[in-house]
Amino acid sequence: MTANTLQGRRIAFLAADGVEEVEYVQPREAVEQAGATAELVSLKPGSIRSFNHLDQSKAYDVDVTAADADADGYDALVLPGGVANPDFLRTDPDAVRFVRAFFDAGKPVGVICHGPWTLIEADVVRGRRITSWPSLRTDLTNAGATWVDEEVVADGGLVSSRKPDDLPAFCARIVAEFARDAHASR
């Protein structure tokens, strides 16, 4: 992809405390290197704390809260994983509303690891082919998705991956998917 593949596009990254650091940082760097503007949307103003597996890591400044965020202002959404992060997100009505709005508008979404928990709560996985961290298989299947064990899966604008080892393929695929004009609703 060229450096300006996503020029003029705004990408929301929805995350809370406990986000897996590499699953936030690497996709954000990928979309920014492709020319997009990335913004961190979270549950409260201030900052969130990332983790490297179970070890607390860096803090990242929040750009806007889910309560104040409007999906119409973004071209795509990324949901990083980590275990605690999506568990916090899926219990917040504003975060769930924000996620559902991307699907209602037909905008592309990237999700990795435990991130699909929030998609389940938003009731947007039924009939979709998706991958995730293996422990979410039953949850996704019970929510009506077809779970597969693959590095990266794209299904109608939804890009999913399993784990940090899949990040190179995930990052390349979200940049390609987010660049498709078929999903742009400008």
User: What is the full DSSP assignment across 93-127?
Assistant: HHHHHHHHHHHHTT--EEEETTTHHHHHHTT--TT
In the set 53, 113, 171, 183, the catalytic residue is: 113
| Mean per-residue pLDDT, 165-170 | 98
* Residue 122 belongs to a domain: yes
pLDDT over threshold 60, residue 56: yes
What is the value of pTM for the model shown?
Answer: 0.95
Amino acid 4: pLDDT:
79
* Residue 184 belongs to a domain: no
pLDDT over threshold 50, residue 1: no
In the set 53, 114, 171, 183, the catalytic residue is: 114
Residues 25, 64: Cα–Cα separation, whole Å: 18
* Residue 4 belongs to a domain: no
Mean pLDDT, the chain, as a whole number?
95
In percent, the amount of the chain with pLDDT more than 90 equals: 92
* Residue 185 belongs to a domain: no
Digit-coded pLDDT (tens) for 107-153: 999 999 999 999 999 999 999 999 999 999 999 999 999 999 999 99
171 among known catalytic residues = no
Number of domains in the chain: 1
State both tokens at 69.
């965020």
Q: Counting beta carbons within 10 angstroms of the beta carbon of residue 115, is it exposed (0 to 12), middle (13 to 18) or buried (19 or more)?
A: buried
Amino acid 85: pLDDT:
97
* Residue 132 belongs to a domain: yes
Digit-coded pLDDT (tens) for 74-120: 999 999 999 999 999 999 999 999 999 999 999 999 999 999 999 99
Amino acid 2: pLDDT:
53
pLDDT over threshold 50, residue 183: no
Amino acid 54: pLDDT:
83
* Residue 186 belongs to a domain: no
* Residue 85 belongs to a domain: yes
Helices within the chain (DSSP H only)? 21-33, 84-90, 93-104, 116-121, 137-142, 167-179
Residues 60, 186: Cα–Cα separation, whole Å: 28
* Residue 55 belongs to a domain: yes
Structural domain for 16, as ranges: 10-179
